[in-house]
Amino acid sequence: MKNEKAFDGLGLSEEALKAINTKGFEEPTAIQALTIPVMLRDDTNIIAQAQTGTGKTAAFGLPLIDLIAVEMKTVQALILVPTRELAIQVSEEINSLRGKKNVTIVPIYGGQSIDQQLRRLKKGVHIVVGTPGRIMDHIRRKTLKLGEIEHLILDEADEMLNMGFVEDMEEIMKHTNETKRTLLFSATMPDRIKNLAKKYMDGYELLKVKKEQLTTHLTEQIYFEVKGSDKFDALCRIIDIKDDFYGLIFCRTRSDVDVVSSHLKDRGYDAESIHGDVSQGQREKTLAKFRKRNVNILVATDVAARGIDVNNLTHVINYALPHDPESYIHRIGRTGRAGHQGLAVTFITPSEYKRLMFIQRITKTEIKKSSIPRVSDIIKSKKAKIQRELGEMLQNEPEKGYFSWAKQLLQDANATETMAAVLKYCFEEKLNPDIYGDIRSYGDKSRSLEKHGKARLFVALGKKDRMTPRKLVDLIMEKAGVQSRQIDDVQVLDNFSFIAVPFEKAEQVISGFKVQGKKPLVSHVKSEDKNPSSFKSSPRKRRKPEKSARKFR
């Protein structure tokens, strides 16, 4: 199925298109479709107004990679961002889009070792992504020269304004090449931003994403906060708790669609999938089966789901949080049709909470937090359904063969014991609680890191060591030989982290990190130290606020 709007019509190189295909993106977002062709013309400054979460990084990242001359080892582009988290995020996203092109991208931000940054800058960097305060530090040290840059990108300009970075932004711009192009991305356009553009941008093209009217109707909306590794088990619980589940599951990429639908089929669900690589003929066959309820689960990307007109859906599930409010509304609007109320379910990880709240604010709707169905409730629901179906069968005359067989089974045995054996034979696998993993939602009031059967451990590694929850779990698996599902309650703070593992695995994890003659990296958390706030960072390592930000507090 060929998309009317596609990346291959925007002027990107074959290498960029291959990288996009590898990522599984199917269609450019509105801001990407507007920005990429103009940026590739390489002849004008740009002001782009678009909300957070609309794919802005790829909008400037993809054409920027195409415009970089890899043979030159000087800094050719500077991307200014308001926070270190965004610096890391933008750097990683652009790095994932470069494909095989040997473009070097480095994040520069406060709180990270400046010596490490100096070593990376000396090796030669094409793109620097940094926060204003730390970029200013390097300019003063003369360790970052911006006199030859071709592109200056101000990302989240209004947020940098709110954080008091305007003076730093202006000072940085004074040290840049006068013939550079400037691209300013902002969700809003306050006067201070307009004045900055007039002063430092000699003419520009304004690109603005048209807002749609966002409305929700007969759809109840809830969200679950779970680890990424728990999403599939959570999905299975939601499907199983509903007697007559009939729903659409949205994933962000084609590869995610294939993985989720494949796992559902492996679990015995009647599921099919559609995405941009599915032929038109196959798409129509799959949709026909879904409309007739020959399959009750359809896994799709946003693009492939367009034009699907199906009534009576019980659920729309956002397996991945959509990029923008418009996509969210388009997805959940598929329930609540023809006067029937539907349920919209969204899975988020803790880091996505702010983006979900942004979607809630823009759509002027309420998305309530909910708890993952308990295994005991699911088993109870399944038993109730079996009992109803058996009751319906009893209303009809049983076939003679089964009637005589039943008499034979009951002839020399207790009726209750025989019935129990028959039920176990028929439904043991379906009613087995062990088919569900151990899931716990984040942020519950009842949350306790010292869970039953779990040991809480302190790890002397944190964000300052470039540690993330995923990296920490991978490291523990490698060093201690435990499985990822046995590692729970991962909290990565600036200078240290916490995890929870089964009691019987605790010593194995601690031993895995022991080094002769050195202080252990992993240890048990003392009972008085239940709260992470009871651990204090040393003054030497505590991150200081950016200088210019302090003025605006």
DSSP 434: G
DSSP 301: -
- Check for a shared fold between 7-208 and 454-526: no
Reference 276, options 529, 536, 24; nearest CA is: 24
Confidence at residue 494, expressed as pLDDT on a 0 to 100 scale: 82
Q: How far apart are the first and last CA of the chain?
A: 53
- Our CA dihedral for 146, 152, 155, 160, rounded to 10 degrees, sits at 50
- Separation between Cα atoms, residue 529 and residue 189, nearest integer Å: 46
DSSP 412: T
Both structure tokens of 300: 């799709």
Residue type, 147: G
Q: Concatenated DSSP letters for 60-114?
A: HHHHHHHH--TT--S--EEEE-SSHHHHHHHHHHHHHH-TTS---EEEE-TTS-H
Q: CATH: 3.40.50.300, 2.60.40.420, 3.40.50.720, 2.60.40.10. Which one for 7-208?
A: 3.40.50.300
Which helix (H) or strand (E) is 316 found in, with range? Answer: strand 315-318
Confidence at residue 212, expressed as pLDDT on a 0 to 100 scale: 53
Full 3-state SS string of 392-450: HHHCCCCCHHHHHHHHHHHHCCCHHHHHHHHHHHHHCCCCCHHHCCCCCCCCCCCCCCC
- The Cβ-side half-sphere exposure at 283, using a 13 Å CA radius, reads 17
- Separation between Cα atoms, residue 186 and residue 208, nearest integer Å: 10
222, 369 Cβ separation under 8 angstroms: yes
In angstroms, what CA-CA distances link 292 with 100, 250, 295, 312? Answer: 45, 20, 8, 12
What is the third-level CATH fold of 454-526? Alpha-Beta Plaits (3.30.70)
3-class secondary structure, 539 = coil
Reference 524, options 449, 458, 450; nearest CA is: 458
- Separation between Cα atoms, residue 241 and residue 375, nearest integer Å: 9
Alpha helix (H) residue ranges in 175-269: 191-200, 231-241, 254-266
- Separation between Cα atoms, residue 546 and residue 553, nearest integer Å: 11
Buried b / exposed e over 80-91, threshold 16 CB at 10 Å, is: bbbbbebbbbbb
Q: Which CATH architecture has domain 219-374?
A: 3-Layer(aba) Sandwich (3.40)
Helices (H) and strands (E) in the chain, counts: 21, 18
Confidence at residue 526, expressed as pLDDT on a 0 to 100 scale: 56
Chain position carrying tokens 């809830």: 222
- Other residues' Cβ atoms within 10 Å of the Cβ of residue 353: 16
65, 103 Cβ separation under 8 angstroms: yes
Domain boundaries, the chain: 7-208, 219-374, 376-435, 454-526
- Separation between Cα atoms, residue 524 and residue 499, nearest integer Å: 10
Chain position carrying tokens 């931003």: 193
Q: What is the pLDDT along the chain (553 residues), one digit of tens a residue?
A: 344 468 888 999 999 998 888 776 778 888 899 999 999 998 899 999 876 667 788 999 999 999 999 999 899 999 999 888 788 888 988 998 998 899 999 999 988 888 889 999 999 999 999 999 999 999 999 999 999 999 999 998 888 887 788 888 889 998 998 889 999 998 888 888 888 888 888 888 999 877 654 445 557 899 999 888 889 999 999 999 988 899 999 998 888 899 999 999 888 899 999 887 788 778 888 988 998 889 999 999 877 776 566 767 899 999 998 877 777 887 887 775 545 568 899 999 888 888 898 888 888 888 999 988 888 898 998 888 888 888 888 887 767 778 888 888 888 788 888 888 888 888 887 788 877 777 764 544 333 333 445 778 889 998 888 888 888 988 988 888 887 778 877 888 888 888 888 877 888 888 888 876 677 888 887 543 444 444 444 333 333 333 333 332 2
Does this model's pTM top 0.75? no
Phi, psi of 43 (to 5 degrees): -135, 5
With vertex at residue 136, the alpha carbon angle to CA 130 and CA 139, rounded to the nearest 5 degrees, is: 105
- Separation between Cα atoms, residue 3 and residue 5, nearest integer Å: 5
